[in-house]
Amino acid sequence: ANGETTMTTPLSAIAEAFEELSRTVGKFNINGCLDDCLRLKPFCDACSLVSVLFGCLGIAFKFAEYEYCSKVRDLVEASKIYGTLNNILDIDVKNDTVKTHGSLSRNLRRVRQGLDLIRALFKNFLSSEYCTLKEAASTAYAEVCAPYHTWAVRTAVSTGMYALPTREQLLLKLNETDESAEKEMRRYIEASLPVIEYIDKLYVRRNISLDW
Ligand code: 1PZ
């Protein structure tokens, strides 16, 4: 209907959402107050946008989509009760369930790893070091997620890598050109970092290690 306005693509929507989150986290950095600046609902909304990427990966990653989306969904449910990411940590620390399978703090940790994986993947995608999407994705996965995944999951992921689309197919599916994808990926790479670091701080300042 509005021919002149800029088209929204999945990548630009993701970049936009994380820029909004990073502005919130940035404000807290200036004020120096750690608590409660990141609200659960907008965080979940941004994380939900990421699920469109799975549609581009082929059926081999259906299990990853299910894993990621079910954890985001749990957090969405929780956002009806708990206002902020900080609240979630408080509750699980109190109940001693931070690392318990299926707990909100554990799901948050997994979703954060997913966000970091995408960040690493986009960096590799834009780097001239990697010629294929498979190389870019395999290296990102090996660095960011593999150390925390079971052997069975790592095997499934490395098998799935063979079924990834090519760079060109991915750009086409995402409705991007090389140039537009580069711009949107750079926006996400920059904006997601303070959000990821903020989440890490929620654990670290409670003396919870990040090696899981
Ligand atoms: C466009 C380029 C494609 C990149 C492809 C890289 C895909 C790697 C997919 C990794 C799948 C891992 C799936 C299973 C993980 C589970 O071991 C854990 C279990 O957590 P627990 O229940 O024990 O607490 N689940 C997760 O870590 C949930 C999130 C995993 C998915 C992250 C994917 C991020 C998005 C990839 C790009 C679309």
Residue whose CA is at the smallest distance from ligand 1 atom 32: 114
Give the DSSP H/E element, type plus range, for residue 15.
helix 10-31
Give the burial string for 116-146 (b: 16+ CB within 10 Å, else e).
bbbbbbbbbbbeeebeebbebbbbbbeebbe
The pLDDT tens digits along the chain (212 residues) read 455 566 799 999 999 999 999 999 986 655 555 677 899 999 999 999 999 999 888 788 899 999 999 999 999 999 999 999 999 999 999 999 999 999 999 999 999 999 999 999 999 999 999 999 999 999 999 999 999 999 999 999 999 999 999 999 999 999 999 999 999 999 999 999 999 999 999 999 999 999 99
Q: What are the residues whose beta carbons fall under 8 Å from the beta carbon of 95, sequence distance 6 or more?
A: none
| Closest ligand 1 atom, residue 54 Cα | 38
Q: What ipTM does the predicted assembly reach?
A: 0.93
pTM of the model: 0.94
| Closest ligand 1 atom, residue 164 Cα | 3
Does residue 106's CB lie within 6 angstroms of at least one atom of ligand 1?
yes
| Number of CB atoms found within 10 A of residue 172's CB | 13
Does residue 120's CB lie within 6 angstroms of at least one atom of ligand 1?
no
Residue whose CA is at the smallest distance from ligand 1 atom 11: 64
Give the helix, strand, coil percentages of the chain, each rounded to 5.
70, 0, 25
